Structure 1
Amino acid sequence: MTERSFTIGIDTEWSSARADWNSALASGAATPFQHGVVMDAWYRAMAARADIRPLIVTIRDRMTGAHALSLALVGTTSGGTRTIGFADLGLIDYNAPILGPAAPRDAASAASLWKALVKALPQADVIDLRKMPVTIAGRPNPLALLDTLPCALNGNLVRTGDDWNAYHHNLKRTVRKELERSWRVFTRHPNALFRDVTEPDERRRVLSAIEEQQPLRMLATGKSYVLDAPSAAAFYRNLVDVPAQEGTVAMTALMAGDTVVAALLGLRNADDYIMVRISNAEGEWANASPGKLIIDRSMAHLHAQGYRAFDFSVGDYDYKRRFGVEPTPLVDLVAPLGWRGLWATAESRARNFVRRRPTVRQFARRILRR
């Protein structure tokens, strides 16, 4: 079999790459996180950061010229190590290429593509590609056919089918009854209602409520909160400024008059919906379980509009299991591009080895305590 050959184009400005990116999307397959408005929001939010260098990659079959892959990457430097990774920085839950008609479907072709990509990339020490789905729209992710490792995170997917009532009835009885009770408690309050938030000013106001509510929740659980960093905040503000009519960015809320009791920001693509950011006021509203209630009401609303796949995104939390999620695997690909990258690659593999072996992990913790 003749080895496939590929050509690589790399653009270092998102503004000049945007048109080609959207053209690739029109005939390709990707997750909602690779949608043009999401990538546009991300790169614009990072534009002021001198430590981030955009690298938007287009790969084509050399013989036919057909589009194979597009990748939204960046170059960064930390501690003297130069890294090439996805346009992510903790803000994108699923990192993936856009798959074109010429995207490899077997390991040998994927290896040829990878060889061409590595040769074309600018000088760096390591390439670090995390949180990649194994399949994209039912097609194999060529990067997942390479020498990958299981990701520490996984997706969480619910497929409801066409009958919403049947899906809801199949939830555990205690969960179903709690959601019904929560709705009754919530709607006892004057002017309490569920909203599909579409007006630009109201979207910004609801996002402001999310920005106020989330840090308080993180503080209560003892977890660190980084979404108030300037570039992260700018990313979400760029997202909610996308017109609702465009169809990608969805925002829903539980409102009691002018009070935002709970809010959910998500992305839509075909019949798929992915939850991106959620918050609730708690306090006096805690007895209405607003966090779970906004999810349930949003799913019912979107199901009525034709959505059948609901992705709760990364993170293994009990509330997700209550809705009957099925874990979906993600993989990481970390490879050295120079001698400095050997340590980063070895460390990644060592962490992965320890994480997947509880007895080794417990032993390592005992040694560290000593």
Structure 2
Amino acid sequence: MSVAKHFADRTAAAPEVFSARVLSGMSDPFLEVAEAAGANVFQSRPFLEQFERHMLAGSRKLVLVGVTDAAGKPIAVFPFVRLKKFGVTRLEAVDFDVTDYFAPAYFRDAALSADDTAKLWRTVARSVPGVHAIAFKKLPRQLHHKPHALSGADFLKPMAASATTLYLRDASGKPTQNMNPAALARKLKKSAKVLQKHGPLTFTEATSKQDTDELLEALLAFRTARFQELGRQDALLDPNVVAFYRALACKEGKASVGRVFALRSADEIVAVTYGYAYRKTFTLIAPAITPKKEYQPGSPGLVAMFKTLEWCQQHDFDVFDLSVGSLSYKSRFEAETVELYEYQQALSPLGLIVVAEAALRRRIRRLALKYPELRSTLEKLRRMRWGWAGDKPADA
């Protein structure tokens, strides 16, 4: 039985009636409901505020669509960007290479049926006038075992991409067998043996703007060297993206969504980890290791990963999201892998360009998976803003 059919068969409730409107902005009261109910960092107020400030310019505008039921009760919020590309005005899910998932905020416990999900989607698509197409990608069926507004959709297309998640605590709130403090200590001791030969290891979090700036500069230097070696471009090195990540990181005197950590061997920074800490979930965003060859046999990326996991356990996180991509280091963890989906809908004849573009993008993605030796050439196509859910090298 397909996942979509499973959701469709769960209830036989009366058909739903939905209404949708474009919200007035980040100050709209509707967002207070989303903020209180949601656990998705990519739809949190801090994330969307900085996304709007640093990632959007010119005619590109953040469009938030709120959905209510027949009684006027909020059900969902969909975050989009209105933009013009290839001459076609469209709505795209908030992404721009800084969003790992599109999982629209949803304020009920049980997923909608397939029919009601399709009805909700039609309501959303009609709510923004003057666009020729609407599109999203990187949608999981559920986000960390919880339904979102499109969990019941039966119109999705597989992306040939996946995401990986580690669950640190079970349903009762206890640490899982493979991620409990004792298990993590054993794995850390084993992984750190070689690296410790260069000097004592310390793992610290940036707690001031000065610390944050220092570690982000190291992270950028490490990733620049790594991607030059690979002959590839790194979206994180875009100045707007750097400013966005910097803005989300350490705020003086209060906890922030963006967290930055450094692993040092003696006084040398050998790995930097940037991630999001939101509610009970830590999302890995940008890991990097030193380009110095003498440290690489000690797997500083892997050691930093275990150190970050240890920090998450100590601070009572339930989920460690390894995010999008299928890099080999993820296989070292007993984690859950989920498939990601996408969808594009033409709302006028001009919108068919968007659908054709997506079909080409999917074919490029599958070719890259089938013929890794063509990755460099296909990467050039990807950077033409066609994009796919790519990997984030940890070099573990």
CA distance in 2 between partners of 1:149 and 1:168 (Å): 37
Q: Choose from 121, 141, 152 the match for 1:134.
A: 141
* 1:119 CA drift (Å): 1.4
Contact 1:282 1:290 (C-alpha < 8 Å) held by counterparts: no
The question of 1:263 aligning with 2:272 is answered yes
CA distance in 2 between partners of 1:147 and 1:21 (Å): 27
CA distance in 2 between partners of 1:327 and 1:32 (Å): 19
Report which stretch shifted further, 127-136 or 265-274: 265-274
1:16-71 Cα shifts (integer Å, max 9, x gaps): 44x54244220x23422222211222111124x1041111111111x211111112
Match runs of 1:131-280 below 5 Å: 131-136=138-143, 138-144=145-151, 145-161=153-169, 162-163=174-175, 166-167=178-179, 180=189, 182-189=191-198, 192-242=201-251, 245-246=254-255, 248-256=257-265, 259-280=268-289
Contact 2:215 2:272 (C-alpha < 8 Å) held by counterparts: yes
5+ residue gaps in structure 1? 366-370
SS in 1 for 2:296: helix
Task: Give the structure 1 partner of residue 78 of structure 2.
Answer: 71
* 1:197 CA drift (Å): 2.3
Task: Give the structure 2 partner of residue 58 of structure 1.
Answer: 66
Contact 1:103 1:142 (C-alpha < 8 Å) held by counterparts: no
Contact 2:280 2:316 (C-alpha < 8 Å) held by counterparts: yes
5+ residue gaps in structure 2? 1-12, 375-396
SS in 2 for 1:142: coil
SS in 2 for 1:214: helix
Report which stretch shifted further, 229-238 or 248-257: 248-257
Report which stretch shifted further, 242-251 or 320-329: 242-251
Structure 1 residues 215, 95: CA separation in 2 closer, same or farther (over 3 Å shift)? Answer: same
* 1:81 CA drift (Å): 1.7
Structure 1 residues 357, 190: CA separation in 2 closer, same or farther (over 3 Å shift)? Answer: closer
CA distance in 1 between partners of 2:109 and 2:74 (Å): 6
* 1:198 CA drift (Å): 2.2
* 1:238 CA drift (Å): 1.1
| 2:316 partner amino acid | G
Contact 1:156 1:327 (C-alpha < 8 Å) held by counterparts: yes
TM-score normalised by length of structure 2:
0.79
Match runs of 1:1-370 below 5 Å: 3-11=15-23, 13-14=25-26, 16-17=27-28, 20-26=30-36, 28-47=37-56, 49-61=57-69, 63-101=70-108, 105-136=112-143, 138-144=145-151, 145-161=153-169, 162-163=174-175, 166-167=178-179, 180=189, 182-189=191-198, 192-242=201-251, 245-246=254-255, 248-256=257-265, 259-283=268-292, 284-349=294-359, 352=362
Contact 2:281 2:320 (C-alpha < 8 Å) held by counterparts: yes
Percent of pairs with identical residues: 23
SS in 1 for 2:99: coil
Report which stretch shifted further, 240-249 or 69-78: 240-249
Structure 1 residues 168, 142: CA separation in 2 closer, same or farther (over 3 Å shift)? Answer: closer
Contact 2:159 2:340 (C-alpha < 8 Å) held by counterparts: yes
| 1:294 partner amino acid | A
Structure 1 residues 38, 242: CA separation in 2 closer, same or farther (over 3 Å shift)? Answer: farther
- What RMSD in Å do the two structures reach over aligned CA positions? 3.2
Contact 1:68 1:103 (C-alpha < 8 Å) held by counterparts: no
* 1:206 CA drift (Å): 0.7
CA distance in 2 between partners of 1:358 and 1:253 (Å): 33
| 1:7 partner amino acid | S
* 1:5 CA drift (Å): 2.1
CA distance in 1 between partners of 2:288 and 2:336 (Å): 23
SS in 2 for 1:123: coil
Contact 2:250 2:259 (C-alpha < 8 Å) held by counterparts: no
CA distance in 2 between partners of 1:99 and 1:148 (Å): 18
* 1:102 CA drift (Å): 8.8
